[in-house]
Amino acid sequence: MRPAASRIGSAAFFLAAPGTTAGLIPWVITGWSMPDDGTLRTASVAVGSAVVVVGLVPVVDAFVRFARAGGTPMPAAPTERLVVDGFNRWMRNPMYAGVTLVIAGQALVFGSWAVLAYAGLFWAVTASFVRWYEEPTLLRTYGEAYRRYREAVPAWWPRRRRRSVTTQPNQP
């Protein structure tokens, strides 16, 4: 994929996927209205806002890295090489974990149990998608390189120490 196309595709997919799951759906649930319950509410908004920012960092980073790798995070337009740098060196699913954090942070900001339940549902659906579709697809696409990466890097919880993940491009 050409560099301009991968940048445009990644930006469009960013708006479509995280924009919908971490923007539109929480807005539909809450109307982005924040009840004013005093001091505790202020602390909840501050902590929730920090969680939203922390969650956005790996999501944005991953989208940039996928575009630089000649593709997008979208399954229909994947990268030409396996992306194992950036936050992907610490965990295999930083985008999904980041979006889940963004949603959970919004639950704190808006004081919404419904958004918190949605965060749990979002994680369950994406974990199922990863397990039953994405991992088998990546294994077929990148072969041994993905198998080694999967063995070295945990799926959902960041590893403590950085280890080199050695992957070789697929050989025809």
User: Residue 171's pLDDT is what?
Assistant: 38
The model's pLDDT over 22-53, given as tens digits with 9 standing for 90+, comes to 999 999 999 988 877 766 678 889 999 999 99
Task: Please tell me the class of the 3-152 domain.
Answer: mainly alpha
Domain ranges of the chain: 3-152
The model's pLDDT over 113-163, given as tens digits with 9 standing for 90+, comes to 999 999 999 999 999 999 999 999 999 999 999 999 999 999 999 887 655
**Global pTM value:** 0.87
Nearest in space to 154 (alpha carbons), one of 170, 121, 118, 130? 130
User: Residue 170's pLDDT is what?
Assistant: 45
Q: What are the phi and psi torsion angles at 166 (to 5°)?
A: -95, 120
